[in-house]
Structure 1
Amino acid sequence: MLDIEEKKDSNTVVNHGTSVNAPSKVFIAAGWIALGVGFIAFLIGLYNAEMQLNEKGYYLTVLLYGLFASVSLQKSVRDRLEGIAVTDMYFGICWFALISAIALLVVGLFNADLELSEKGFYGMSYTLVMFASIAVQKNVRDAQ
């Protein structure tokens, strides 16, 4: 019988009876690079933007809230797939947090006095950061 967590070979990890291929070093690096590029691009965009400080704080807070929400939701989904107990209440809160973080960004950008290209930049860098944070969290968990 397999333990809770054991390594079968150098590329396969068994978590709670589920066999998972360990991510390659290139995929791990790509995830971290995408996260860093998206996050730094978003911050540089905020730094260079001609908006009030409270608006910059709003977008930074929405970014951080979205990061937490996406990682928390990904962990909850993965826990459920591996048979680890996750309450329906927490799972629902994770979904609500992610949806509300995205909605806050969309509403903020819709109401912002920015060029359409700037709005697109913030939307795309936010999307990159959300995707990369999920990939990094998955890679970290798969490597354990």
Structure 2
Amino acid sequence: MANDREDLFDKEKQNELKLKVERKDGEPTSAFKGASLATLVIGISAYIIGLFNAAMELNEKGYYFAILLLGLYSSVSLQKAVRDKEEGIPVTNIYYGISWFALLVSILLMGIGLYNTGSIVLSEKGFYAMAFVLSIFAAITVQKNVRDTQKARERA
């Protein structure tokens, strides 16, 4: 009877181990990938909810939304270009330069927009700035995780 219980326990343990997906060498952990994705969703959601609830004109809301999209796209594009260069994948200087330019312009436009707007208080300006920075950083991290996971699985 005791052996039957031990055999059953061992079989359950083996089944649990089979269900777990093994992490490849160089692949980020599931916890890190999940935290990065959650951070991206939280940052973008907070920014958009803040825009939706803001007491500003629709054209101002569109301006800040467009800056968020430009910042997200340019940050991921720059991360990819930097990573490609590091790995010896050809990247044209024009693409690399445009990626840097677009990211810097998005940050500059965000700063200028927040500095010049009179329709929101200082604490809201800080909120938008932090949500913007959080979203950009999280987008870079999520893209890096995707690339690291893909590369680790290709090697295996």
Provide the TM-score with structure 1 as the length reference.
Answer: 0.87
The match for 1:117 is 123
1:60 corresponds to 2:65: yes
Deviations 1:55-88 (A, max 9, x none): 0000000000000000000000000000000011
Q: How does 1:12-91 map to 2 (within 5 A)?
A: 12=25, 21-91=26-96
Cα distance in structure 1, aligned partners of 2:90 and 2:37: 29
Q: Which amino acid aligns with 2:128?
A: Y
Q: 1 or 2, which has the higher strand percentage?
A: 1
Provide the TM-score with structure 2 as the length reference.
Answer: 0.81
Q: CA deviation at 1:39?
A: 0.3
Distance 1:10 1:30, change over 3 A: closer
Q: Which runs of 4+ in 1 moved over 6 A?
A: none
Cα distance in structure 1, aligned partners of 2:123 and 2:23: 46
The match for 2:24 is 11
Distance 1:54 1:30, change over 3 A: same
Q: Which amino acid aligns with 2:115?
A: F
Q: Which protein has greater RCO, CA pairs closer than 8 Å, 6+ apart?
A: 2
The match for 1:16 is none
Secondary structure class of the residue paired with 2:55:
coil
Q: CA deviation at 1:11?
A: 2.3
CA RMSD, 1 decimal: 0.9
From the CA coordinates, give the structure whose radius of gyration is larger.
Answer: 2
Q: CA deviation at 1:10?
A: 4.0
Q: How does 1:133-144 map to 2 (within 5 A)?
A: 133-144=139-150
Native 8 Å contact 2:47 2:132 kept in 1: yes
1:132 corresponds to 2:138: yes
Identity %, equivalent residues? 54
Q: Provide structure 2 residue ranges, at least 5 long, that are not aligned to the other structure.
A: 1-21, 151-156
Native 8 Å contact 2:75 2:140 kept in 1: yes
